[in-house]
Each structure stands twice: as structure tokens, then as C-alpha cells.
Amino acid sequence: MGLPRRTFLGLAAAGVAAAAAKPRHAFALDYPSRPVRLIIGFPSGTAPDITGRLVAQGLAERLGQQVVVDSRPGASSGIAIEAVAKAPADGYTLMLELSSNVVNAALNPGLAFNVVRDIAPVAFLGGNPFVMVMTPSLPVKTLPEFIAYAKANPGRINMASQGVGTTPHVCGELLKMMTGIEVTHVPYRTSLIPDLLAGQVHFYFSPLPQPLEYVRDGRLRALGVSTAARVPVLPDVPAIGEFVPGYEATGWFGLGGPKGMPAEIVDKLNSTTNAFTADAAVKERLASLGLEPRGMTTAAFAGFVAAENDKWAKVIKFANIKPE
């Protein structure tokens, strides 16, 4: 015997509603059921690319699905950010976030896509310390001596960086803002190390571990590290904050994704990433790349990104830095 028409339509509607509601929950529980894409906004062979590939491998092992690296360099990671922002919010498209992405968002608030506004924080990977290295041709040996010398010679000391608005640039601008020194910024588009070694420029905030060889053989002098505390790889080098209270300017890496991802998927990615960075072998490998692994909750990472954006926006305004 057939069902009355009204009963049939009611059951059909309920079935459609259940089918519409179920996939999101089941999808989150079964995630990932196919390969995940990790977009990196930097060229192959660069530090972010090397770090991203290591992270992709580690996540794949823990998630039980392939994590495919998709390099999308260009426009200061703008191409990568746009690709992720426009992707479905299903957890199958992620991006490697860097501190430089947040600096760029503060420097260029009018960008069509930026990491602060358009990317949802997922997981923090770790900090990337910088070390302030100086050519020995300057007649100073410590950071207090450097600050005193810079104040006595305003504008005569040259600070190198990879370009306007890069993280090494704003690290130096933060030091200027907090100490009142005046130095001349010299941006480079090619390698700046030869000129630094030759004394053509005088100091540079270098990511670790790039300058270790030069520091150890005396060709460069390390005046301080940018982290709040000293770093194990340079135990005798003070933190800049020991002489400039409150100074901290650490680079960092993290994972982000499209806004609107299911909370269950974000939580799974966050816990998986935290387990990855807590692994002893992973810590050792990341440390060799200059990264200090550290886990955070998603909420803590979101607050961290917002605070970083506010901090660098103030530095950029103080220094009157304009986009190139």
C-alpha cells in the first residue's frame, strides 16, 4: 500500500534535510579522505619551501593521506594567499604562513587579498630567530657600544635587508624606534652577504642559521638575537631585549586555510601539527633550518597573528615605510 502524498512529501523533505546536514559532520570525522594541498608562496629551494615540504611530509604521515606541495610564488605571496582564500573551505587547501605575510599585510592594507583578513589561522609551527650581525670594520663589539656609536654618527651606519618591508628590514626599524638611533637602510634584490663581509654595508638582521659560519670564523660579529631569550645555537650571544627592554622580533611559520572551515577539521589539523612539532626528531630537523618548533591552540595562533599585525603596523607607520 502506498504512502499518502502528504506523508511521502514530508519524509522526502526530511531525507533531503538529513542528507544536507550529514555530509559536513561526517566529512569532518572522515577527514582527510583524499590528498591535501599545501600552497607555498615562495620559490622552490628557498627556506620556506624546504620547511613547507618537511611539514607536508610530517602531516601526511600523521593524517594518512598525501599532502601535496603546490608552489605559487609571486607578488610577495599574494598569488598563494588569493588561491587559498578562494578555495573551498573544506580543509583540503592549506597554506604555509610566514611572518613576512603579516608584515606585508600591515604595509599594504589595500591589497585585494592579505593573510590577516582573508586566511584563517590553523596551527603555529615555530619561531624563526634573527641575529643582528655586523661587519667587524665598525669599532664596536657589543650592542650597547653599537647604539652609542650610532647615536654619535647619525645616518652614517648602513643597514642591509632583502628589500623594503621584509622582516629583516622591520626588525631594524623596530630597533631604531626603540633606541632612537638613525641608520641608513640599503635594500638588496640580490645577495647582500658579500657586501656585508666587505664592509660596504654595516649590519643586517639575518635569519638563523644563515650567518653561523661567518660568526664562528670571525668574519661577522653577532651583537644580539631577536628573540626574547638567547638561542641554543648561539648561547654566548645576548638577546637584544637584555639591553633594549621589550625588544622582540621573531620570524615565524604557521598553517592557514580558507575562512569557514569546519571546526572539527581545524581542531584535527591543529592537534596533528602540534604533535608533529613536538616530535624529537622533527625538532632536531627544524632546528637545523633555524626554526624553533612550538605548538599553539588555534585561538592562541589567531591572537598571535593579530598582535603581530598591530605591532608591525605601528613600526611601519613610525618609520614611514611605503610599499615599493
Delimit the domains of the chain by residue range. Answer: 34-127+250-319, 130-242
Higher model confidence: residue 290 or residue 244? Answer: 244
Q: Do domains 34-127+250-319 and 130-242 have the same CATH topology?
A: yes
**Residue 60 above 70 pLDDT?**
yes
What pLDDT does 277 receive? 94
What pLDDT does 55 receive? 95
Which residues, at least 6 apart from 221, have a Cβ–Cβ distance to it below 8 Å? 133, 134, 135, 136, 141, 215
What pLDDT does 232 receive? 87
**Residue 27 above 80 pLDDT?**
no
pLDDT tens, residue by residue, 151-167: 999 999 999 998 898 89
Higher model confidence: residue 15 or residue 262? Answer: 262
What pLDDT does 22 receive? 47
**Residue 6 above 90 pLDDT?**
no
**Residue 171 above 80 pLDDT?**
yes
| Coil/strand/helix, residue 204 | strand
Q: Are 173 and 315 in contact (CB under 8 A)?
A: yes
Separation of alpha carbons 153 and 236, rounded Å: 28
Cis amide leading into 43 (omega within 30): no
What pLDDT does 18 receive? 46
Percent of the chain with pLDDT over 70: 91
β-strand pairing of 203-207 with 130-134: antiparallel
β-strand pairing of 93-98 with 251-258: antiparallel
Average pLDDT, the chain: 90
pTM of the model: 0.85
**Residue 292 above 70 pLDDT?**
yes
Q: What is the DSSP letter of 134?
A: E
C-beta pairs of 294-299 under 8 Å, 24+ apart in sequence: 294/124, 294/125, 294/126, 294/127, 295/123, 295/124, 296/123, 296/124, 297/270, 298/121, 298/122, 298/123, 298/266, 298/267, 298/270
Q: Confidence band (pLDDT; 50, 70, 90) for 29?
A: low
Nearest Cα neighbor of 315 from 161, 160, 202, 169 is 169
Separation of alpha carbons 12 and 101, rounded Å: 49
pLDDT tens, residue by residue, 203-237: 999 998 889 999 999 999 999 999 999 998 899 99
pLDDT tens, residue by residue, 119-135: 999 999 999 899 999 99
Q: Are 73 and 42 in contact (CB under 8 A)?
A: yes
**The one-letter amino acid at 88:** P
Domain at 34-127+250-319: CATH architecture: 3-Layer(aba) Sandwich (3.40)
Within 13 A of 284's CA, how many CA atoms are on the CB side? 2
Q: Confidence band (pLDDT; 50, 70, 90) for 23?
A: low
Which residues, at least 6 apart from 81, have a Cβ–Cβ distance to it below 8 Å? 41, 95, 101, 113, 114, 115, 118, 119
Nearest Cα neighbor of 65 from 38, 98, 100 is 38
What pLDDT does 290 receive? 80
Burial label for 288, CB within 10 Å (0-12, 13-18, 19+), is exposed
pLDDT tens, residue by residue, 254-286: 999 999 999 999 999 999 999 999 999 999 888
Q: Which fold has domain 130-242?
A: D-Maltodextrin-Binding Protein; domain 2 (3.40.190)
| Coil/strand/helix, residue 288 | helix
**Average pLDDT value for residue range 178-199:** 94
Least confident range from 24-38, 104-118, 192-206: namely: 24-38
Strands (E), 129-238: 130-134, 158-161, 184-187, 203-207, 221-225
Q: Confidence band (pLDDT; 50, 70, 90) for 36?
A: very high
Nearest Cα neighbor of 253 from 95, 44, 80, 74 is 95
Separation of alpha carbons 244 and 322, rounded Å: 26
**Residue 7 above 60 pLDDT?**
no
**Average pLDDT value for residue range 148-152:** 98
What pLDDT does 190 receive? 82
Cis amide leading into 232 (omega within 30): no
